[in-house]
A and B are shown apart, each in its own frame.
Chain A
Amino acid sequence: MFELANPKRFMDVSGIALPWLAASAAVLIAVALGLGLFLSPPDYQQGDTVRIMFVHVPAAWIAMMAYGLMAAASIVGLVNRHPLADLAAKSAAPLGALFTALALITGSLWGKPMWGAFWVWDARLTSFLILFFLYLGYIALWNAIEDDVRAARAAAVLALVGAVDVVIVKFSVDWWNTLHQGESIFRSSGPLIAPVFLWPLLLMAFGYTFLFLTLWLVRIRTEILTRRCRTLLARETAR
């Protein structure tokens, strides 16, 4: 993994991977949309609102995965003092914030017809809203500190402290009596939902994952290029 952590090598490998990741994302999302909107039936209880699940659940998964990746990169940044890890963490945050917002919005659009309310302060929803604010705080912290090394360190500490919230989000439906339904996919006894709903959900989740990875890599590349530009400019001014 640390061989990849050389920016030059990262640029080479990500350059090769990007077209494949982007194409996989497009195909998976297109197929999932076809299955989810046309081929799957309305649910016997939720009616057609079940289709909201196909964009809600993947967004929520990516929101949490992005935070996990951001926290992992933050540890590497703190421990190994590797600048590429700092850039990887920084680049994940805006994407994580977006997917968190999408999960919150699509969730409330499902909550209104099914629960009768756009929002309830149950443990799952509240901890997920906190996840959104953690992302915003993380981004604000990066922007507030001018020195990159210090900004990276402060932001990494925030990311790690905030990681507790991801654990709370995950287990909130078990620890408290939430209005939000419990885990129905990753169960030791197998998923609880019918295959006709599971397929569009999983394909959309993979599509979202590949799309996230594509955007994440492009953002890291942008950060590397921007830093290189800054070094070149500084050298020119010094001359």
Chain B
Amino acid sequence: MTQFFAMGGYAAFVWPAYGVSFAGLAIAIGLTWRSYAKAKALMGKLEKGGDS
């Protein structure tokens, strides 16, 4: 296990590469989903003929 995390001595490069990649993708998913949900909510409100 320790050997796995050590990445043959390149842990300082391999793990940040994976960390940045998946953090970046997760943020993109989060932001995309948030603005989509917001637009859907506003649409629902307007279609109901809300007085916003």
Q: Give residues in A with beta carbon < 8 Å to B.
A: 37-38, 42, 47-49, 51-52, 55-56, 59, 94-95, 98, 101-102, 105-106, 109-110, 112-113, 211, 215, 218-219, 221-222, 225-226, 228-229, 232-233, 236
Contacts and interface: CB of A to CB of B under 8 A. Distances in A.
A95 B35 CA distance: 14
A109 B17 contact: yes
A167 to B, nearest CB: 26
A105 B20 contact: yes
Interface of B: 4, 7-10, 13-14, 16-18, 20-21, 24-25, 28-29, 32-33, 35-36, 39-40, 42-43, 46-47
Contacts of A228: 43
A62 to B, nearest CB: 10
A119 to B, nearest CB: 14
B11 to A, nearest CB: 8
Contacts of A102: 20-21, 24-25
A109 B21 CA distance: 12
Given A222-B36, A225-B39, A225-B40, A48 B17 contact: no
7 closest A-B pairs by CB: A225-B39, A48-B8, A48-B7, A55-B21, A106-B17, A109-B17, A52-B17
B10 A47 contact: yes
Given A95-B28, A215-B29, A56 B46 contact: no
B23 to A, nearest CB: 10
A169 B32 CA distance: 28
A106 B25 CA distance: 13
27 contacts: A37-B4, A37-B18, A47-B8, A47-B10, A51-B7, A52-B14, A55-B17, A55-B18, A95-B28, A101-B24, A102-B21, A102-B25, A109-B16, A109-B17, A112-B13, A113-B13, A211-B25, A211-B29, A215-B28, A219-B36, A222-B32, A222-B39, A225-B40, A228-B43, A229-B39, A232-B46, A233-B46
